[in-house]
Structure 1
Amino acid sequence: MKEDFLHYIWKFKKFNILDLKTQQGESLTIIHAGQYLELSGPDFFNAQIMIENQKWAGNVEIHIKSSDWYAHHHEKDDAYDSVILHVVWEHDTEIFRKNNTEIPVLELKNVVDTSILNNYQSLIAPKSWIFCEKQISQVDDFVLKNWQERLFFERLERKSKAIFELLTQTNQDWEAVLFCLLAKNFGLNTNGEIFFKIAQSIPFATVRKESFEVENLEALLFGTAGLLDTEKEDNYFKDMKFRYFYLLHKYQLEKYSIEPVQFFKHRPDNFPTIRLSQLANLYHSQQNLFSNISVLKSLQSCYDLFQITSSEYWNTHYQFDKVSPKKKKSLSKSFIDLIVINTIIPIQFTYFKSIGKEVSEDFINLLKEITPEKNSIIDKFSSFGITSKNAFDTQTLLQLKNEYCNQSKCLQCSIGTDLLKNK
């Protein structure tokens, strides 16, 4: 038995509410269960009940046992002085306020239908991956679709918090924030955080000024990444190194110590040298990138905007001083899809939220144009009968797994409550 199950029982009145009596033998009528805010203090705020002929308004606290009140030291906390009803699964001791008046208690174990309890115990049976893996395919499609929209916007809200923090750090410079987010995206999982630190350590005012000469942008990125710290005979490498130290002196920049970028386990097209060159070329070709990104609505317009390549040197190299067969290094559609999912949509969402503009459907429609992501989480859901048609589906499943399944929040999940109700 867990308290979140009792919260669910109380919130949705999943028990026999007729002829209720407190443990003190007084009649009890529930007018309003209160608001479940998940804040510190009592569990439900602003509840309304009738005890005998007296109406009470205040808060409700819920525990497995009455004695948990003392185990949690609520008798010492002024926040619990306003509790008008103590709801418990099992009543094992009387509870008193500081003024020595007894708090009425409602015991639930004898008024909850056994089918609800059986469904709950089945739902939280020992899991191998998620609790409901054997039942999730039974969830009503209408419930699932509505829950997916909620999950999607929860995910965007979480990402927007980090973007708003970046805006504060950059004095509300949307272009500077976009540069950091794109850098992280270009670094993928392995180099994402390193690329992000690289972008943060270069003042965006410097990026703006030097964007007209792509070699200078590349030198700044390569140098900050520590890729120019050695000595090589390659003329391009020597030129990059000369430019980097010239720019450090010109702008009085500090030489930051950032952990080394990783080449290991990357396909050559994802080598940090290639991705940093492509990022430099993007900012060389797009002088007002945020303005252009903020108006994108279709996937094709995203593909058009990101039609960039690495610099010519990298057509015959993946690393400095090592010649490779000639190949033009363009951004693939699948890579641009990741940019749309992880950068374009989150920064658009945050921007439009900041100006009070509602364009929620546009984000959903854009994601539905993108093929579903491929990873172990999506594959596992598919094995349970939850298939993904597009990136909207996969993004919602990632949110579901990470924020609900992994944290055992079954009773705060529409899938869990639907299974509990209908099983």
Structure 2
Amino acid sequence: MNFPEDFLHYVWQFKSFDFGDLKTATAETLKVIHQGFLNKNSGPDFSNAKIQIGDTIWAGNVEIHLRSSDWLRHNHQFDAAYENVILHVVYENDAEIKRRDGSVLPVLELKNRVSAELIIKYENLFLTLTDFPCVAQIKSVDQLIINSFLARTVIERFEQKTNLVIETLNQLNGNWDETFYRYLAMNFGFKINALPFELFAKCIPQQIYGKHKNNRLQIEALVFGSAGFLNDKFTEAYPEKLKKEFEFLQQKYKIKPIEVSIWKFMRIRPQNFPTIRLAQFAALIVQSNHLFSKIIEIKDVKELRKLFENLPVNNYWETHYHFKKEAVKLSTQIGKTSINNILLNTVALFLFAYGTNTGTQFYISSAIKLLESLPAEQNTITDKFTLAGVKLDHAFASQGVLQLKKQYCDEKKCLSCGIGIKILKQS
């Protein structure tokens, strides 16, 4: 018996056992009219089942165990929630179980009714040590079935992320613009500098920029000063101007800059240096302060990309990677891949979160359309699924795969996965 109780849940739910001449442990004729509905909360495993024992039809709950003695081991005999159990389904009947009133609980033993082939198929799926359980079988599943389940997992993923967004929103007294600003800042850090960007955004609220929206130099000073990059001595005119502006603004707004040492430059391409990202971030603020308010006004998702293109980045950064030394000329605009990343991880998320929080389906639909317009992500996880035969046409599918891997494959929840269930059902 090398399987968990969840396997028997699958067997009962999908009637994957021999139904011929069913009898209870006391030799009474048994007929399953309806197996009930799987209960994922506390209480019996299946609710609203309907069975016939002898000439009597019963409606109620079904409890499932590997062994009937598990009923006692789990202390169900003391729990009133189990008084309405009409059938005890077990793999092995090793003990007589009585209800609290002394009546014997009807038992169906599955030991000789589940095929060895199904058990072996489950063990091969569940006990695999490969990258994900069905790596060898997933190519046999119709892509429509895979896409259908990925549609479910991507919604799960965004619902989970929405919960985190709402937590931050509540901390910021329901201010969507400020919440979006914080998440956008983290996204500009692209993992390696996400934490410094988050700390930087927390030390200077977005509303301060709004007071200086017509003064580009002051906004750039606020950005680089709050980020800790203006505490040095400079020989060039531009950083010196920024420093003087920030010294005044710092006193005015009581800004406490973050420690510059937390920014990471090692093993990063110069185009992705935090100084370049901060310059782009400042240009975005200059061009579109209170950005989220603009985003929710846009009706065509194709227009969202334009918000991050052709930013007025200061010309200084065309020949500098940082404030210390000149460099060969480079493009200061956000690259297409980086814009895709921002649209995926921040814009789509906030459209979904805003739509969910306000009960507005339009924004949820806009988030999904945006994901479907973006190319599928390429990383070690998506590459493995693609290699195994899964077709990922867009970011909606790749986001679904990331959730599938994290919440189902890694947790070995094959019996809760539509793909895993289909593989087990295949002959």
Structure 1 length-normalised TM: 0.90
Q: What is the aligned counterpart of 1:191 among 190, 193, 199?
A: 193
Q: What is the aligned counterpart of 1:331 among 327, 330, 334?
A: 334
CA contact under 8 A between 2:5 and 2:66: conserved in structure 1? yes
Distance of aligned partners of 1:111 and 1:168 in 2 relative to their CA distance in 1, 3 Å threshold: same
CA RMSD, 1 decimal: 2.7
Return the alpha-carbon distance in structure 2 between the equivalents of residues 368 and 278 of structure 1. Answer: 26
Return the alpha-carbon distance in structure 1 between the equivalents of residues 370 and 354 of structure 2. Answer: 17
Distance of aligned partners of 1:230 and 1:83 in 2 relative to their CA distance in 1, 3 Å threshold: farther
1:410 maps onto 2:414 in alignment: yes
Return the alpha-carbon distance in structure 2 between the equivalents of residues 232 and 76 of structure 1. Answer: 76
Worse overlay, 243-252 or 265-274: 243-252
Displacement after TM superposition at 1:100 (Å)? 4.3
Counterparts of 1:246-325 in structure 2, within 5 Å, are: 246-253=248-255, 260-296=262-298, 300-307=302-309, 308-325=311-328
Q: Which residue of 2 aligns with 1:390?
A: 394
Q: Which residue of 2 aligns with 1:174?
A: 176
Worse overlay, 317-326 or 219-228: 219-228
Q: Match of 1:21, SS?
A: coil
CA contact under 8 A between 1:225 and 1:260: conserved in structure 2? no
User: What amino acid is the match of 1:366?
Assistant: L
Distance of aligned partners of 1:232 and 1:32 in 2 relative to their CA distance in 1, 3 Å threshold: farther
Worse overlay, 242-251 or 6-15: 242-251
1:207 maps onto 2:224 in alignment: no
1:422 maps onto 2:426 in alignment: yes
Q: How many residues align?
A: 423
1:132 maps onto 2:158 in alignment: no
Counterparts of 1:217-256 in structure 2, within 5 Å, are: 217-253=219-255
Displacement after TM superposition at 1:222 (Å)? 3.1
Worse overlay, 263-272 or 94-103: 94-103
Q: Match of 1:373, SS?
A: coil
1:343 maps onto 2:361 in alignment: no
CA contact under 8 A between 2:209 and 2:289: conserved in structure 1? no
CA contact under 8 A between 2:48 and 2:60: conserved in structure 1? yes
Q: What is the aligned counterpart of 1:38 among 37, 40, 43?
A: 40
Counterparts of 1:141-156 in structure 2, within 5 Å, are: 141-156=143-158
Q: Which residue of 1 aligns with 2:11?
A: 9
Q: What is the aligned counterpart of 2:67 among 45, 58, 65?
A: 65
Displacement after TM superposition at 1:233 (Å)? 4.8
CA contact under 8 A between 1:224 and 1:258: conserved in structure 2? no
User: What amino acid is the match of 1:187?
Assistant: G
CA contact under 8 A between 2:147 and 2:397: conserved in structure 1? no
Return the alpha-carbon distance in structure 1 between the equivalents of residues 260 and 17 of structure 2. Answer: 59
Q: Match of 2:128, SS?
A: coil
Structure 2 length-normalised TM: 0.89
Unpaired runs of 5+ residues, structure 2, are none
CA contact under 8 A between 1:226 and 1:260: conserved in structure 2? no
